[in-house]
């Protein structure tokens, strides 16, 4: 699944109930969040990867 969003001030994107950290340089910029059963990848508007995490299926976790 792919979703586009603008990064907020706290440098996290939320997928389901978990928050995944993204580099501080992405704050305020448009990003695309790609998810599948194994991982979460955040792409900057130019297509470069700015964050990559293993998918967490626990609820209400913060991953850095």
Count up the domains in the chain and report the number.
Answer: 1
Beta strands (DSSP E) in the chain are 2-6, 12-15, 18-21, 30-35, 39-44, 49-54, 62-63
Q: What is the pTM of this model?
A: 0.93
43, two tokens? 């792409």
pLDDT band at residue 3 using 50, 70 and 90 as cut-offs: very high
Domain hosting 56: range is 2-63
Across all residues in the chain, what is the average pLDDT? 96
State the Cα–Cα distance between residues 2 and 9, nearest whole angstrom.
Answer: 21
């Amino acid at each position: 699944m792919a979703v586009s969003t603008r990064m907020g001030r706290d440098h996290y994107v939320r997928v389901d109930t978990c928050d995944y950290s993204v580099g501080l340089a992405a704050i305020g910029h448009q990003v695309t969040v790609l998810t599948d059963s194994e991982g979460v990848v955040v792409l900057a508007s130019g297509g470069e990867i700015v964050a990559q995490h293993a998918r967490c299926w626990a609820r209400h976790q913060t991953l850095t």
